[in-house]
């Protein structure tokens, strides 16, 4: 019984890890005009799950630290 339980837990861990490892960080503009970040596996998921995303905002994939310089900036005209 214990071997079966441990096997099931190991399988669950292996299945769960790829979903976490595929998440990326995306920048977006919120309703207050601030550049914020969210984590998601696809750009569409980032747009859907970003808190308070502005109506006209898209998302920008943050690939390295140079890309993250925009986070925290204000965007006028939002």
Could you state, in order of their start, the residue ranges of all structural domains in the chain?
Answer: 22-78
Whether the model clears a pTM of 0.75, i.e. scores above it, the answer is no
Q: Which CA distances in Å does 67 have to 10, 14, 30, 62?
A: 36, 31, 18, 5
pLDDT at 9 over 90: no
Task: Give the end-to-end CA distance of the chain in Å, rounded to a whole number.
Answer: 59
pLDDT, position 27: 94
pLDDT, position 70: 78
Q: Which CA distances in Å does 22 have to 12, 34, 48, 75?
A: 17, 26, 17, 29
Task: Count CB neighbours of 46 within 10 A.
Answer: 24
pLDDT, position 12: 58
pLDDT at 72 over 60: yes
pLDDT at 29 over 50: yes
Mean pLDDT of 27-51: 94
């Amino acid at each position: 019984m214990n071997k079966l339980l441990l096997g099931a837990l190991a399988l669950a861990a292996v299945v769960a890890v790829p979903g976490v490892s595929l998440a990326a960080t995306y920048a977006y503009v919120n309703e207050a005009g601030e550049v914020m970040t969210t984590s998601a596996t696809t750009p569409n998921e980032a747009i859907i799950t970003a808190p308070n995303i502005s109506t006209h905002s898209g998302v920008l994939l943050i690939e390295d630290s140079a890309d993250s310089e925009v986070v925290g900036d204000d965007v006028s005209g939002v």
